[in-house]
Amino acid sequence: MTATPNLAVPGTSYSGTIIAKQNGRQVAQTAVGLVMEGERYDLNVHATGRDGKPAGGFLTLYKYGDQFVTTLEIDPTTGVVATQRLAPGVYTASSWLEVDGGEGVALVGTPHLVIGKNTDLELDAGKANPITLGTPKPGEDVYRRPGWYHDSGIGGQFATFISQYVPTPVMTRMYAAPTGQVAGGHYEFSTRWRRTAPLLSMTVDDKQLHPLLQRGSKRWDGKATLTAAYVGAGAAADYAGKDVRGKAVFVTASSAVTPSARATAALDAGARLLIVVTSGPGKLYDAAGGTDLPVLSLTEAEGGPLVDRIGAGGNVRLRVTGTAAPPYLYDVVKAYTGAIPADLRYTPGADDLATVVNRFVGPTGELAFETRADCRIGYWPPCLQVVEPIHLGTERVDYVSTQAGTDWYEQTDHPRGWEQRGERHTYEPRSVQTNSWFAPVARPRVGSGYWNPRRSGNFFAVNVPTTSSGDQGVTGSMSDESTVETRLFQNGTLIRKSAFQAVQTSVPATSGWANYRFEMDTARPESWGQGTKTTTAWDFRAQTAATSDWVYLPLIQLDYHLATNLNGAFTGGSRQRIGLSAFQFAGVEGAGKVKNVTLEVSYDDGATWQPAPLSRTGSDWSADVRPPKGASYLSLRATATDDAGNKVSQEVTRAVSIR
């Protein structure tokens, strides 16, 4: 058989079968094929570290318009990627190279590489510049995320690409190489920082140490001077005959003892702090082990001499100061469009920041979690979150960047099953605002954290979050043993009821406006203290006419304005002001102007009620009350109507505590 490749069409595969016969009988056959390579060009890639030596790692290669990304190994001995034969097109070829002995990362490569000839690409980390943040107050970075987004400009599906990197705490330095003006469509390089107030200081003989909190570890909280003890690899048997109660226990990192076994043994022995010393070069960042014991690591250079000193019978005393709830933090995004510039140092001033006072309301010291997500063009998911443990009954001041193009979304979560969602929004430079989380009054309330009550034709989807709180649009729901029942009526007839916060159903079509009622009853365990029971009913007018999109329903909302302490309590025997707002969201169908509002209060969980006369200022109302001494809770009952026939009535048992 003879193949003549010059007659083949580039990019085409040919196949056939050769059959051998003898005396007319088939005695063998085999398949044959010819593939004529299409238009292809070589891509040769070479990577160099900041020390000028060949660097290893991985190259991300993507052809815009394709569905799949290729990850290629960079040979650490040569810095070379195997030659790639690529079809013509627009590609991205980039790498997050580990540099500085694993304590840094550098973005190198190109987001817009046009392949139309043989191409050599140099990934030179030596040309990458530091990415740094300067802040007015000292702090430490608990989260960093450099990344980029590019619209290649080719149009159609898969025309964009995003690449982001979250360094571990071991990587204290970040770099990025300048790109020059990036061709094609939109290009953006950005970095997100979360920098808290200093979390931990540890000294021995007035010499500062540099411990690294291990992944998932409980933070050290408070001040103490601890005597150190050394127990080898930290297995349970290593503690035999040693009294380490109340001490800082040093162990040497060993693959023979798992992080869980190491932490559990220290906790069971009564240690207050566990310090894992590396047994080789570099830093250790490993799982903490799943206990309530703070677990830290020290390098061999810092921890080794202390271990030797303890082993020789010397006395080692550590002074440890730390906080589990930092009093302030910085949330900063800095973005550059069009190119990565040479200077990536950023020091925001007062004109670049907003001040946000976060009040985490609840029993003092109780643990919860707070999230602030940054949202920018090209992100997927659209908002990328950073989570921070918080202590209830505390206040934290946040300094948040205000660069155009960045939206922010906040959320808090209580481990016992209460989720709170804020609103996606921007912050104005130099603005100051207060956010209260888990604050009174916990009750049903609509907001942008969840989809709102709406209809499409005669299909109604009425959704009200059960446990919203405060007066700043925070919405919430429960995931514990709390209960909810909802009911939807049309012209007095029950259409559907549900054991969830939403009723979604078709209703009988009407020729015009009809009367609807949505009722919600909630109850949650008394261990929550406040908002243990609510009863709310919304009467509203709506149509069933055909629509091209969702039409929002006119459920009047109530906000309560209470100046409580950080435990969510009023002071008994003193005058307290209750503010009340009743409103419709913009753009709802059939909304009117709120005209009548009433308020009643109860100090016996709703057994008896007394009116709270309201005075009006603009669009808000308020009443002054004096909770009697000895009362434990204040319950609220409010109503509001508008001039379009819509009404809400809401009763909240134990709306606020009295102390």
Residues 489 and 572 in one domain: yes
Q: Residues 124-137: what's their mean pLDDT?
A: 98
Residues 388 and 481 in one domain: no
Contact 584, 594 (CB under 8 A): yes
Q: What is the pLDDT of residues 326-369, one digit of tens each?
A: 999 999 999 999 999 999 999 999 999 999 999 999 999 999 99
How confident is the model over 507-529, as pLDDT tens digits? 999 999 999 999 999 999 999 99
Give the CATH number for residue 276: 3.50.30.30
In the predicted model, is pLDDT for residue 35 greater than 80? yes
Alpha-carbon distance 33 to 157, whole Å? Answer: 33
The pTM score is 0.93
Q: Is residue 556 part of a domain?
A: yes
Same domain for 19 and 152? no
Domain residues for the domain of 461 are: 454-658
**b/e for 74-113, b at 16 or more Cβ within 10 A?**
beeeebbbeebebeeebbbbbbbbbbbeeebbbbbbbbbb
β-pairing, 104-115 with 89-99? antiparallel
Residues 314 and 397 in one domain: no
- Beta-sheet pairing, 173-176 with 104-115: parallel
Same domain, 23 and 111: no
pLDDT digits 0-9 by tens, 394-433: 999 999 999 999 999 999 999 999 999 999 999 999 999 9
Q: How confident is the model at residue 24 (pLDDT cuts 50, 70, 90)?
A: confident
388 falls in which pLDDT band (50, 70, 90)?
very high
On whether the CB atoms of residues 425 and 407 are closer than 8 A, the answer is yes
- Domain assignment present for residue 329? The answer is no
Asked whether residue 401 falls in the same domain as residue 501, the answer is: no
**For the chain, percent of residues with pLDDT exceeding 70:** 100
- pLDDT for position 600: 98
pLDDT, tens digit, 9 for 90 and up, residues 241-282: 999 999 999 999 999 999 999 999 999 999 999 999 999 889
Residue 366 is predicted with a pLDDT of: 94
292 falls in which pLDDT band (50, 70, 90)? Answer: very high
pLDDT of residue 572: 81
Residue 103 pLDDT grade (very low, low, confident, very high; cuts 50, 70, 90): very high
- What are the DSSP calls for 418-464, one per residue? EEEE---B---TT-EEEEEES-S--B----TTSPPSEEETTEEEEE-
Whole-number mean pLDDT of the chain? 96
Query: Does residue 330 lie in a domain region?
Result: no
Asked if 308 and 396 sit in the same domain, the reply is no
Lay out the sheet containing 160-164: strands in order across. 160-164, 140-151, 187-196, 328-337, 394-401, 353-360, 432-437
* DSSP result, 263-325: HHHHHHTT-SEEEEEPSSSS----B--SSSS-EEEE-HHHHHHHHHHHHTT---EEEEEE-SS
Tokens of 649: 């009535």
Note whether residue 332 is domain-resident: no
Distance of CA 407 to the CA centre of its chain: 13
Q: What is the mean pLDDT of residues 571-576?
A: 87
Domain of 51, CATH number, reads 2.60.40.1120
Same domain, 523 and 615: yes
**Token pair of 219, please?**
């933070």
What is the DSSP code (8-state) at residue 466? S
Structural domain includes residue 449: no
CA distances from residue 26 to 19, 21, 22, 285 in whole angstroms, order as listed: 7, 4, 6, 68
Tokens describing residue 190: 């950005």
Q: What is the pLDDT of residue 7?
A: 78
**With pLDDT > 90 as the criterion, what percentage of the chain qualifies?**
92
Segment 457-476 mean pLDDT: 96
Identify the helix (H) or strand (E) that includes residue 260: helix 259-268
Q: 468 with 505, same domain?
A: yes
**Domain identity same for 363 and 492:** no
Query: Does 331 reside within a domain?
Result: no
Residue 466's CATH number: 2.60.40.10
Statement to judge: residues 367 and 415 lie in one domain: yes
Dist CA 50 CA 554 (whole Å): 62
Residue 1 has pLDDT above 80, yes or no: no
Tell me, yes or no, whether 432 and 458 share the same domain: no
CA-nearest of 103, 190, 107, 192 to 141 is 192
Q: How much is the pLDDT for 646?
A: 98
In a domain, 336, yes or no: no
Q: Is the dihedral of CA 386, 391, 393, 397 positive or negative?
A: negative
Cα 181 to Cα 405: distance, rounded to the nearest angstrom? 20
Helix (H, G, I), strand (E, B) or coil at 630: coil
- Contact criterion met (CB below 8 Å) for 409 and 424: yes
